Amino acid sequence: METSSLARRLSTRFVAGETLDQALAVARKLNAEGITVTLDHLGESVSTLTEAAEARDVYLCTLEAIHANGIQGNVSLKLTQFGLDLSWEQCLANVDRLVRRAADIGSFVRVDMESSRYTDRTLDLVHTLHARFGAVGVVIQCYLYRSQADIEKLCAAKIRVRLCKGAYLEPAAVAFPRKSDVDKSYLELTRYLLTNGVYPALATHDEAVIRQTCQFVIEGKIPRDGFEFQMLYGIRRDLQRRLVAEGYRLRLYVPFGKAWYPYYMRRLAERPANVFFMLRNLFRH
Model pTM greater than 0.85? yes
pLDDT of residue 188: 98
Hey, which of 39-48, 85-94, 164-173, 273-282 has the most confident mean pLDDT? 85-94
Query: What's the confidence (pLDDT) of residue 133?
Result: 98
Looking at 40, 101, 112, 183, which residue is catalytic?
Answer: 112
- pLDDT tens by residue, 193-222: 999 999 999 999 999 999 999 999 999 999
* pLDDT tens string 108-134: 999 999 999 999 999 999 999 999 999
pLDDT tens-place string over residues 224-267: 999 999 999 988 899 999 999 999 999 999 999 987 777 677 66
Q: What is the pLDDT of residues 54-69, one digit of tens each?
A: 999 999 999 999 999 9
Distant-in-sequence contacts of 222-229, Cβ < 8 A, 24+ apart: 222/194, 222/195, 224/248, 224/249, 225/249, 226/194, 226/199, 227/193, 227/194, 227/197, 227/199, 227/200, 227/201, 227/202, 228/36, 228/199, 228/200, 228/201, 228/202, 229/201, 229/202, 229/203, 229/204
Confidence at residue 272, expressed as pLDDT on a 0 to 100 scale: 61
Query: Is 112 one of the catalytic residues?
Result: yes
pLDDT beyond 80 at 50: yes
Stated as kind and residue range, the H or E segment containing 252 is: strand 250-256
The larger pLDDT score, comparing residue 23 to residue 14, is at 23
* Per-residue confidence band for 279, with pLDDT thresholds at 50, 70 and 90: low
Distance from C-alpha of 164 to C-alpha of 173, rounded to nearest angstrom: 19
Query: What mean pLDDT is predicted for residues 151-171?
Result: 96
List the domain boundaries for the chain.
5-283
CATH class belonging to 5-283? alpha beta
Q: With 60 as the cut, is the pLDDT of residue 285 above it?
A: no
d(CA 73, CA 202): 16
Q: What is the mean pLDDT of the chain?
A: 92
For residue 283, pLDDT over 70 is answered with: no
Q: Is the pLDDT of residue 273 over 80?
A: no
Q: What is the pLDDT of residue 192?
A: 98
Pairing of β 36-41 and β 73-77: parallel
Active-site annotation holder among 56, 160, 162, 249: 162
pLDDT of residue 234: 86
Q: What is the pLDDT of residue 198?
A: 98
